[in-house]
Amino acid sequence: MKIPAVKGFRDVLPDESIRWWVLEERARAVFHRYNFREVRIPIVERTDLFQRSIGETTDIVEKEMYTFADKDGTMLTLRPEGTASVVRAYVEHALAQHERVSKLYYFGPMFRRERPQKGRLRQFSQIGAELLGRDDAAADAETLLLLYDLLAAFAIEGAEVQLNSLGCHTCRPAYREALVTWGRAHFDELCDDCRRRVDQNPLRLLDCKQPGCAAIRDSAPRMLDHLCAECQAHFARVRELLRREGAEPRLNPYMVRGLDYYCRTAFEVVASGLGAQNAIGGGGRYDGLVRALGGPDVAGIGFALGVERLVMVLGERALEADVRPEVVVLPVGEAAEALAVAVAHRWRTGGVRVEVESAGRSLKSQMRQADKHGARFVVIVGEDELAGGALTVRDMDARRDHPRALGVHLTAEELRAALARLSAA
């Protein structure tokens, strides 16, 4: 009997994983330009870390966490996101005492028990960044520019960055009250979930996808009209700095994010062609979080991109990375095996991507195999070649043979030069 993968958990096979790899390589390069450094955080954390950071009344904590009791009774959870873990590590290792600003990035799987659908999985992967130790608007602007640069490096086209401000502990309570009042006044028109949200998590009234709720949303009060003077000035400065760099995210006063730790600047990246799950990334400022998790009063801002959704947006579009073999070596007959292994080993050690077929099959069937690898050159090691001390090259693109064109002692460099000569000939 076959054992299938668990619903919402999927395999990434080589044709797709190459795209992941390219995304990660490019992301690393951009992160390093911004002087972010990698942090590797565990996949399992104590459950209360997420309860305290993401928020008890969020969908994630209420319904979506993979939580279990360890053998000693400790409640543990598979991380549903990375920010809480990064902040936990930041506090645990007292990074604030060692550096004024910490800029950290991470890659890895996250787990949320959502209803699986296109673009929504129970295990998905994020590319994330967190900047701790700065509360000035320039930090927000730089974080958003980092996000724009990542999208450009991935060659994502047609994605829209949406921006909002969620206020702070000074101005949000009054806004929250205004929303509750509005929610109560429209109680009959709200969906069941939103009726619960009115008192528990009224901000989430704004991004409900139910048609009835969306239809009356325009009449709801907006955070942007309730910002205190400091939040207003901060938001204006963020936008001004971005505008100077030619980045103009679209204001979306109804975007509230699904995690409770945010304040002030919040943003999402929305892509077309993905259907309902169209957010390829999201983030924002979380100034109270480090303190809430037992650390000093240090501000933070960050974001995460969903790798599966990025890969879907990129679709079949070629990502330049070439990991196909450059050369396939075909040993024809058992006697050729040792020489094939030796030349391949020498060339690989010198940096050439080489595949070796197994000896003992007909040249024809080996050729068919070689073709599948997509290499331009096939090097044949047969009896004639063994006797003559030189190898035959077949140029698969030009469909041409070059009998005994390569000496058996060629180094990787000499091989490259010889192949370049042959392709020019």
Query: Which positions lie near ligand HAM, rule CB under 6 A?
Result: 81-83, 112, 114, 120-121, 124, 126, 128, 130, 258-259, 279-284, 302-304, 306, 308-309
Closest separation between CB of residue 399 and ligand HAM, Å? 45
Which one, 140 or 385, has the nearer CB to ligand HAM?
A: 140
d(CA 300, CA 283): 11
d(CA 414, CA 412): 5
Which one, 16 or 401, has the nearer CB to ligand HAM?
A: 16
Three-state SS letters, 168-219: CCCCHHHHHHHHHHHHHHCHHHCCHHHHHHHHHCHHHHHHCCCHHHHHHHHH
Which one, 82 or 382, has the nearer CB to ligand HAM?
A: 82
The residue number whose beta carbon is nearest to ligand HAM equals 306
Torsion, Cα of 69, 74, 80, 81 (10° steps): -170
Which one, 253 or 283, has the nearer CB to ligand HAM?
A: 283
Buried b (16+ CB within 10 A) or exposed e, 131-163: bbbbbebebbbbbbbbbbbbbebbebeebebbb
CB 310 within 8 A of CB 23: yes
User: What letter represents residue 361's amino acid?
Assistant: R
Which one, 133 or 283, has the nearer CB to ligand HAM?
A: 283
How is residue 60 annotated by DSSP? I
Closest separation between CB of residue 295 and ligand HAM, Å? 16
Closest separation between CB of residue 199 and ligand HAM, Å? 23
Closest separation between CB of residue 322 and ligand HAM, Å? 27
User: What letter represents residue 68's amino acid?
Assistant: F
Closest separation between CB of residue 289 and ligand HAM, Å? 9
d(CA 330, CA 271): 46
Closest separation between CB of residue 169 and ligand HAM, Å? 18
Closest separation between CB of residue 4 and ligand HAM, Å? 19
Which one, 22 or 121, has the nearer CB to ligand HAM?
A: 121
Closest separation between CB of residue 182 and ligand HAM, Å? 25
Which one, 82 or 183, has the nearer CB to ligand HAM?
A: 82
CB 96 within 8 A of CB 298: yes
Which strands sit side by side in the sheet containing 400-407, from one edge to the other? 354-356, 327-331, 377-381, 390-395, 400-407
Which one, 185 or 292, has the nearer CB to ligand HAM?
A: 292
| Cα–Cα nearest to 121, from 291, 311, 290 | 311
Q: Is 230 helix (H, G, I), strand (E, B) or coil?
A: helix
Closest separation between CB of residue 179 and ligand HAM, Å? 21
Alpha carbon 34 to chain centroid, angstroms: 17
Which one, 182 or 303, has the nearer CB to ligand HAM?
A: 303
Residue with tokens 């509360």: 135
